[in-house]
């Protein structure tokens, strides 16, 4: 018999003992013939197996004082187990949350491709943006860009630049746009590691046309 099977067997016997309802039927105010509290606690906590405590089982079922003390000890032990289980679950949940946070950060740190969805952006050509548009986020660890270009954009070879607000050029590269799953997708290699954090414009164009500018924040 495994320890688990023995534990379940002992629990069943204890339950049968507790269910006899003899806790008030046999008074023993002098506690004659009673085991000491250490024995009762050992039985209640299963440190003393019922096979070893057999000599005390009949006494527990016929002594209200021992029966009451035994039930109190069991209740305290059960409460401690519940508290310990709750603490263990809390630790596991905290560890899980910590791992999730760490894993998310690890993905961000090691991921060197920024994906920018421009499909909802209007195409703003020329030196000055035509309207205020939300900034796109690019990490300084980025070495590759994937752009989902606005509707109606042509595929083909593109030029890309990173521009200061003054129009000064910081980075330049080229990439190829192709239709992928009904979306014109532009992919290009560009290293942002030398770019200070701040607000810029990402310029995109077919050769010979004016730049379509999109606001970005490098961080």
Which of 85-89, 168-172, 184-188 has the least mean pLDDT? 85-89
Is a pLDDT exceeding 70 seen at residue 166? yes
Element (H, E) at 123: none
CA–CA distance, 62 with 74 (Å, rounded to integer): 18
Local confidence band at 128 (pLDDT 50, 70, 90 cut-offs): low
Q: Quickly list H helices, the chain.
A: 3-18, 37-44, 54-60, 64-110
CATH 2.60.40 residue spans of the chain? 113-218
Short-list 202, 205, 204, CA closest to 214: 202
Fold of 113-218: Immunoglobulin-like (2.60.40)
Local confidence band at 11 (pLDDT 50, 70, 90 cut-offs): low
């Amino acid at each position: 018999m495994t320890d688990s099977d023995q534990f379940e067997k002992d629990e069943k016997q204890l339950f049968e003992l507790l269910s006899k309802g003899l806790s008030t039927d046999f008074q023993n105010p002098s506690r004659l013939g009673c085991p000491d509290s250490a024995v009762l606690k050992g039985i209640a906590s299963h440190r003393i197996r019922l096979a070893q405590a057999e000599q005390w089982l009949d006494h527990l079922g016929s002594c209200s004082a021992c029966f009451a003390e035994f039930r109190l000890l069991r209740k305290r032990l059960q409460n401690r187990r519940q508290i310990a289980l709750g603490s263990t679950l809390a630790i596991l949940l905290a560890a899980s949350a910590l791992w999730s946070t760490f894993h998310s950060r690890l993905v961000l740190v090691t991921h060197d491709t920024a994906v920018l969805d421009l499909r909802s952006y209007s195409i703003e050509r020329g030196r000055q943006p035509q309207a205020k548009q939300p900034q796109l986020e690019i990490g300084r660890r980025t070495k590759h860009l994937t752009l989902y270009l606005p509707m109606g954009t042509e595929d083909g070879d593109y030029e890309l630049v990173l521009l200061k607000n003054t129009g000064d050029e910081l980075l330049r590269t080229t990439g190829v746009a192709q239709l992928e799953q009904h979306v014109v997708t532009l992919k290009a290699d560009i290293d942002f590691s030398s770019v200070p954090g701040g607000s810029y414009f990402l310029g995109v164009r077919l050769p010979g046309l004016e730049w379509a500018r999109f606001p970005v924040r490098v961080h």
